[in-house]
Amino acid sequence: MAAGFEPGVPVAWKVSWGDREVGFAASKRTPGVLGTTNLENRVILEDVPLLDLVPALMRRVVGDIGSMKFDARTTFEFDSLDNFSKFRSRVKINEVSSVLELDGKVNGAFLDVNVKFGDATFEPKIPLASQAVLSEALFPDAKLPYLYVGRRWSEEIYNPFHAPNAPIETVDVEVTGIETLSIDGENHRVMRVEFFGPPAPGVPEDARLQAIAWVRQSDGVVLRQDVLISTSRLRFDRLPEKEALEQGNRLLNDSGRRGHGRGRRWSGPWGARREGVPPWQASDERHEGEWRREGERPRPELPAGDSDGQL
């Protein structure tokens, strides 16, 4: 996961809710101790609809308000071989700090998680595949290399908007097509990657779609990701390098470590890529040898434009 980021160079995103800009998100890879690597993520959202975003349990803690400021920060740690080892996540809503706190550590074939939500504590033990990688499911990856139409895999996804006692679920991921994505007047050939929630009684197949990512075909760079929440869409559009540096430094270098500061932020879902086999870890008849996790996986969007794939 961290391998998709250049050390010290932030990757940042403009975040929109429907057709309205609501904030920014950023990630940065930094060196840790004894050869470890940290990946810091922060999302800040402002004036977003509470009822659409958070579960009823969380609304009991922050109050049933119409809109909110959402500030979340997550740090992932990778060992010297770039294997995920542990994470820490904190979520703040309006003036209520640490509404949700999660700490997790890989323990053999499991991820031991400690969840603190208000006065309640949960300690789910999540099975993980060998060499599994934890990443934020609703947070864009820098890259998703080695894709081709029809490629499939599964991931364990953490979502802060799920019930606190069950923050992780398995999703099915598939590269479903090649499209043309227009950004600032420039057309890009992109791979469309879709993320589906687990089957459930009474839930139609098309309702399982949770996220869509658009990945530039030439280099695996994630350009856009949409996360589907209720009947709305949270969209992440990648910022140019200069803007990304500015926003990344603003989000990740402020006083957020002492209390998340003020403002909006949202950090969420992480996925432990499993069987299937994730693009950056896999090998198959088309690509000899082991694939490194050069990037991460993308995410969401509502069904795209017309029949020719133009967005």
Range of the domain at 206: 2-273
In this predicted structure, what is the pLDDT of residue 175?
Answer: 98
Question: Long-range contacts for 254-263 (Cβ within 8 Å, ≥24 apart)?
Answer: 256/42, 256/71, 256/73, 257/73, 259/92, 259/97, 260/71, 260/72, 260/73, 260/90, 260/92, 260/97, 261/71, 262/69, 262/71, 263/44, 263/46, 263/69, 263/71
Residue 197 lies in a domain: yes
Mean pLDDT for back-to-back runs of 10 residues, the chain (311 residues): 80 92 94 92 86 57 66 90 88 78 89 86 81 65 93 81 72 95 94 91 85 96 90 90 95 59 34 46 38 38 42 45
CB–CB of 208/194 below 8 Å? Answer: no
Residue 278 lies in a domain: no
In this predicted structure, what is the pLDDT of residue 51?
Answer: 64
User: What's the total number of domains in the chain?
Assistant: 1
In this predicted structure, what is the pLDDT of residue 246?
Answer: 96
Residue 122 lies in a domain: yes
Residue 298 lies in a domain: no
In this predicted structure, what is the pLDDT of residue 249?
Answer: 93
In this predicted structure, what is the pLDDT of residue 220?
Answer: 95
Residue 306 lies in a domain: no
CB within 8 Å of 6: residues ≥ 6 apart: 29
In this predicted structure, what is the pLDDT of residue 244?
Answer: 96
Residue 184 lies in a domain: yes
In this predicted structure, what is the pLDDT of residue 219?
Answer: 95
Q: Is 265 exposed, middle or buried (0-12, 13-18, 19+ CB in 10 A)?
A: buried
Residue 286 lies in a domain: no
In this predicted structure, what is the pLDDT of residue 211?
Answer: 92
In this predicted structure, what is the pLDDT of residue 261?
Answer: 38
In this predicted structure, what is the pLDDT of residue 29?
Answer: 93
Residue 309 lies in a domain: no
